[in-house]
């Protein structure tokens, strides 16, 4: 059977590569990067205008995902028949004639200084090929080695796949950093005739945009990782849960699922094996609280968006009371590379206790905002300064909002803090999903802390009393802090509320909601109270 599967895959790849080579032969290829970032600055209309106005034979206009350099959007990359490549950043309709001249004259334009400095420090793995590959083309994904990791998984036992992922040290990338292989093994060892895999692509956290870049730019990489996870954990059905507002992610993932099904990579007897797995796309209103696994399950079952009591855990009793593995997009996108290149290679990157690369969403008052891929364990300085270029001209960075509403804020003096799972600082700051927002002196600290606290209050599902009543109370106390002469007592109340939330809330939203207050008071107590004295 193994030989038959290998032959089936090799034939599929050969046919795909032949089609791609024939398609690209003697043709100019104009790539327009269209992602959630570039859509907001006119990438859709730019791509439409290019397709409408250029009907010359031998020229192909292809929409791709964003390569992570969101500061340069919209980007256009021209692959000339001569083999030269031209790069154009921040393109608008006035630049189209410049691009046309480059195409007609086989011109050559290098990436900008900013673009080179953005990518040179990075370690691209998950983001490799994004921006250069048509996300709607299964042939192009196969031509760069796509689904070879799935083939390698199907040629060994599920136990061997789990062992390989275990030896790689892959931790979940959703924020909790739980060992991925342990979820798979527990689900597989739980007695049941049916198991499910859920891909959490809801990504409702402010300042986080990593998963959508993968869905928009390389959806087959996610599908391949999900199929490997399903095979290893014994799941026969995979659901990909995407926020309904992520229209581009839904569109491209839907196309990828259809093309994979048509090619026999999803469904029955995948690649000629005994492995059967279907994939279904689900969209929903989602919400930040859906980062908690049982809440996400409840929304899929059509009941209230709130967490369940644990134990039992989803890997034992999950969707429709069946064992259910829940992994996020970034986690699963790592899996094909581990199977293809081996656990040892993955484990060499990053930290001994946290291997591989991590995607960091960098935004705010910084020269080069975008999606950055660096090894686990890098410092905030490497993210913000080395790749991001530091503060905008004429601005001075003051604080860093790290890890979203479940984390906290750090002053710029803490920029050498190492990014890794667990506590980054005793004040309660954690890495979370990897969001980093740079804020300058024009933004009052009070507004930042209150805004994040308000977000937690708004997103509370209301099931447990500590979170339902405590998070709005935190916002109320913060709002009156600078106007009250009795700030000592208010600070004590805020600290007590934070401790109650951490100890008594049902899920992570409430348990972590006090961190923004703790870190704010730890580093910026004087500013939060409106005084320049020790309180």
Chain centre to alpha carbon of residue 121: 20
Residues 30 and 298: beta-carbon distance below 8 Å = no
**Strands (DSSP E) along 37-111, which ranges?**
59-64, 76-79, 85-88
How far is the C-alpha of 138 from the C-alpha of 160, rounded, in Å? 28
> Taking a C-beta distance cutoff of 8 angstroms, is the pair 54, 125 a contact?
no
N-term to C-term CA, the chain: 73
Q: What is the CA radius of gyration of the chain?
A: 24
Backbone region of residue 303 per phi and psi (left: phi > 0; alpha: psi in -120 to 50; beta: other values): beta
pTM here?
A: 0.96
Structure tokens that stand for 73 in this block: 């959007």
Asked if 339 contacts 331 with a C-beta cutoff of 8 angstroms, the reply is no
Q: Please state whether the peptide bond connecting residue 311 to the residue before it is cis, i.e. omega within 30 degrees of 0.
A: yes
Domains of the chain from N-terminus onward: 26-112 (3.40.30.10), 138-348 (3.40.50.11540), 356-442 (3.10.20.600), 446-529 (1.20.1440.230)
Q: How far apart are CA 238 and CA 216, in angstroms?
A: 19
Would you write out the chain's pLDDT as a tens digit for each of its 535 residues? 788 888 888 999 999 999 999 888 889 999 999 998 999 999 999 999 998 888 778 899 999 999 999 999 999 999 998 889 999 999 998 888 888 888 888 777 889 999 999 999 999 999 999 999 999 999 999 999 999 999 999 999 999 999 999 999 999 998 889 999 999 999 999 999 999 999 999 998 889 999 999 999 999 999 999 999 999 999 999 999 999 889 999 999 999 999 999 999 999 999 999 999 999 999 987 788 988 999 999 999 999 999 999 999 999 999 999 999 999 999 999 999 999 999 999 999 999 999 999 999 999 999 999 999 999 999 999 999 999 999 999 899 999 999 989 899 999 999 999 999 999 999 999 999 999 999 999 999 999 999 999 999 999 999 999 999 999 999 999 988 866 667 888 999 999 999 999 999 999 999 999 999 999 999 999 888 876 444 3
| CA–CA dist 116, 107 (Å, integer) | 19
Closest listed residue to residue 497, CA positions, set 486, 513, 519? 513
Q: What is the DSSP letter of 111?
A: P
Q: Which of these, 75, 178, 81, 86, lies nearest to 130 by C-alpha position?
A: 75
- Cis peptide bond prior to 312, omega within 30° of 0: yes
From CA 473, how far away is CA 435, in angstroms rounded? 26
Note the pLDDT of residue 535: 35
Closest CA to 174 of 64, 387, 325, 368: 325
Write down the pLDDT at residue 484: 61
Cβ–Cβ under 8 Å, residues 417 and 453: no
- For 76-91, give one letter per residue: b (16+ CB within 10 A) or e: bbbbbeeeebbbbbeb
State residue 530's pLDDT score.
Answer: 74
Distance, in Å, from the CA atom of 34 to the CA atom of 63, rounded to the nearest integer, reads 6
**Count of other CB atoms within 10 angstroms of residue 199:** 29
What does the alpha-carbon distance between residue 103 and residue 120 come to, in Å, rounded to a whole number? 27
**Token output for 401:** 């909002």
One DSSP character per residue, 135-190 reads TT-HHHHHHTTTTHHHHHHHTS-HHHHHHHHHHHT-B-SSSS--BHHHHHHHHHHS
Helix (H) or strand (E) holding 374: strand 370-375
Q: Are 435 and 405 in contact (CB under 8 A)?
A: no
């Amino acid at each position: 059977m193994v030989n038959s599967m290998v032959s089936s895959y090799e034939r599929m790849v050969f046919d795909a590569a032949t089609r791609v080579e024939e398609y690209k032969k003697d043709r100019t290829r104009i790539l327009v990067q269209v992602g959630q970032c570039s859509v907001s600055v006119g990438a859709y209309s730019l791509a439409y205008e290019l397709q409408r106005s250029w009907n010359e034979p031998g020229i192909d206009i292809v929409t791709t995902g964003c390569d992570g350099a969101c500061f340069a959007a919209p980007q256009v990359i021209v692959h000339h028949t001569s083999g030269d490549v031209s790069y154009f950043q921040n393109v608008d309709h006035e630049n189209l004639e410049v691009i046309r001249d480059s195409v007609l004259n086989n011109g050559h334009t290098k990436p900008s200084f900013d673009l080179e400095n953005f990518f040179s420090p990075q370690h691209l793995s998950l983001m490799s090929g994004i921006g250069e590959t048509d996300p709607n083309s299964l042939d192009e994904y196969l031509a760069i080695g796509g689904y070879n990791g799935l083939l390698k998984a199907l040629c060994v036992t599920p136990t061997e796949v789990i062992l390989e992922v275990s030896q790689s040290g892959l931790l979940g990338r959703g924020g909790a950093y739980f060992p991925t292989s342990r979820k798979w093994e527990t689900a597989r060892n739980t007695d049941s005739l049916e198991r499910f895999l859920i891909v959490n692509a809801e990504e409702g956290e402010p300042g986080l945009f990593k998963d959508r870049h993968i869905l928009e730019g390389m959806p087959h990489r996610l599908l391949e990782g999900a199929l490997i996870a399903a095979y290893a954990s014994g799941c026969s059905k995979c659901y990909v849960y995407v926020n309904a507002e992520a229209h581009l992610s839904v569109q491209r993932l839907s196309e990828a699922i259809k093309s994979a099904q048509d090619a026999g990579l999803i469904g029955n007897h995948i690649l000629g094996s005994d492995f059967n797995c279907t994939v279904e796309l689900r969209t929903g209103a989602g919400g930040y609280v859906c980062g908690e696994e049982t809440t996400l399950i409840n929304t899929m079952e059509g009941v209230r968006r709130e967490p369940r009591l644990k134990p039992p855990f989803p890997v034992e009793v999950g969707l429709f009371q069946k064992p259910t593995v829940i992994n996020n997009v970034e986690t699963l996108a790592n899996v094909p590379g581990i199977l293809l290149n081996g656990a040892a290679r993955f484990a060499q990157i990053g930290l001994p206790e946290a291997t591989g690369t991590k995607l960091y969403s960098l935004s705010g008052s910084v020269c080069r905002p975008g999606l950055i891929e660096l090894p686990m364990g890098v410092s905030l300085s490497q993210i913000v300064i080395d790749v991001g270029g530091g503060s905008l001209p004429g601005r001075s960075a003051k604080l860093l909002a790290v890890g979203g509403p479940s984390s906290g804020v750090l002053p710029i003096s803490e920029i050498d803090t190492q990014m890794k799972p667990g506590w980054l600082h005793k004040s309660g700051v954690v890495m979370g999903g990897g969001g980093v927002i740079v804020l300058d002196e024009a933004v009052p600290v009070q507004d930042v802390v209150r805004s994040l606290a308000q977000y937690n209050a708004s997103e509370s599902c209301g099931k447990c009393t500590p979170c339902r009543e405590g998070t709005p109370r935190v916002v109320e106390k913060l709002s009156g802090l600078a106007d009250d002469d009795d700030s000592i007592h208010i600070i004590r109340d805020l600290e007590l509320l934070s401790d109650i939330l951490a100890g008594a809330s049902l899920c992570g939203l409430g348990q972590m909601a006090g961190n923004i207050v703790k870190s704010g008071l730890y580093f910026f107590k004087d500013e939060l109270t409106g005084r320049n004295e020790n309180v």
